[in-house]
């Protein structure tokens, strides 16, 4: 099927057949997820393919035992991170140097701008300092366009979570292309999931996927979208 057929075929499936999802398909689709566009190429995500039966039980309970979780053949947890930027930044710089592309602009971007935007402490003191600096930046912004953030930790999480959501969309579409389905779940106890994964305060669980082959009654209703005129604007 072509791309637009994939888009139309993808639905949130809440009941699955007993058909197993081949390991090769899971690995192929997870690989597709991390090829998504992302902010500054910092790839601030982690995907946890839950394979241990006991951990699966924990995830299902944390998802309130909803059908999309307890009936799924596979479970994947998508996590955004604000603490992997330094490691990934260094790998990007190494790659640029290896290919003789480490120009001054790249140096300034990754060694000055990125640390300023991504560094945050647990108490939020760095955010207050940035807020003070941006007071002067915003004054300058009256005269020309300027970068206005992210300033606080929650704003940075918004950035990395948007990026992770792009990877999640890749994952869902890849599953459809391979003949399987999924349900992206936002209904879960994040604290329990983070405890199981041993995640710190610099991590956010974006969504959890129930995965399998759709049962005949797996889609609960026909697709409904509001009229295009309400959400697509021409200016």
Average pLDDT over residues 6-24: 97
* pLDDT(1) > 90: no
Structural domains in the chain, sorted by start: 3-82+154-214 (3.40.109.10)
Q: What are phi and psi of 230, to 5 degrees?
A: -80, -20
**Which pLDDT band, with edges at 50, 70 and 90, does 196 fall under?**
very high
Give me the residue label for tokens 């600096």. Answer: 133
Q: What gap in Å lies between CA 180 and CA 174, rounded to an integer? A: 9
Segment 8-23 mean pLDDT: 97
pTM summary value: 0.94
The per-residue pLDDT for 138 is 87
Q: Dump pLDDT digits (tens) for 47-100.
A: 999 999 999 999 999 999 999 999 999 999 999 999 999 999 999 999 999 999
C-beta atoms surrounding 95 within 10 Å? 12
Q: How far apart are CA 12 and CA 184, in angstroms?
A: 7
Cα 84 to Cα 203: distance, rounded to the nearest angstrom:
10
Please state, for a pLDDT cut of 90, what percent of the chain lies above it.
94
Which alpha helices (DSSP H) does 65-150 contain, by range?
67-70, 85-98, 104-108, 114-118, 125-140
Residue-wise pLDDT for 140-175, tens only, equals: 899 999 888 899 999 999 999 999 999 999 999 999
Q: What is the DSSP letter of 37?
A: -
CA distance 164 to 47: 9
User: Which segments of 32-105 are extended strands (E)?
Assistant: 45-50, 74-81
């Amino acid at each position: 099927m072509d791309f637009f057929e994939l888009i139309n075929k993808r639905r949130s499936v809440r009941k699955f057949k007993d058909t197993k999802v081949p390991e090769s398909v899971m690995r192929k689709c997870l690989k597709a997820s991390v090829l998504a566009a992302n902010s500054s190429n910092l790839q601030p995500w982690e995907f946890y393919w839950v394979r241990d039966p006991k951990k699966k039980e924990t995830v299902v309970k944390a998802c309130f035992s909803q059908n999309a979780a307890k009936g799924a053949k596979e479970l994947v947890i998508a996590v955004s991170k604000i603490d992997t930027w330094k490691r990934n930044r260094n790998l990007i710089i190494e790659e640029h140097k290896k290919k003789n592309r480490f120009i001054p602009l790249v140096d300034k971007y990754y060694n000055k701008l990125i640390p300023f935007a991504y560094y945050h402490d647990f108490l939020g003191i760095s955010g207050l300092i940035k807020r003070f600096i941006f007071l002067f930046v915003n004054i300058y912004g009256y005269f020309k366009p300027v970068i206005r953030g992210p300033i606080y930790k929650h704003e940075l999480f918004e950035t990395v979570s948007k990026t992770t959501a792009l990877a999640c969309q890749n994952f869902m579409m890849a599953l459809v292309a391979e003949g399987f389905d999924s349900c992206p779940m936002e209904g879960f106890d994040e604290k329990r999931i983070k405890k199981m994964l041993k995640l710190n305060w610099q991590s956010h669980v974006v969504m959890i996927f129930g995965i399998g082959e759709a049962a005949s009654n797996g889609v609960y209703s026909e697709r409904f979208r509001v009229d295009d005129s309400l959400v697509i604007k021409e200016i």
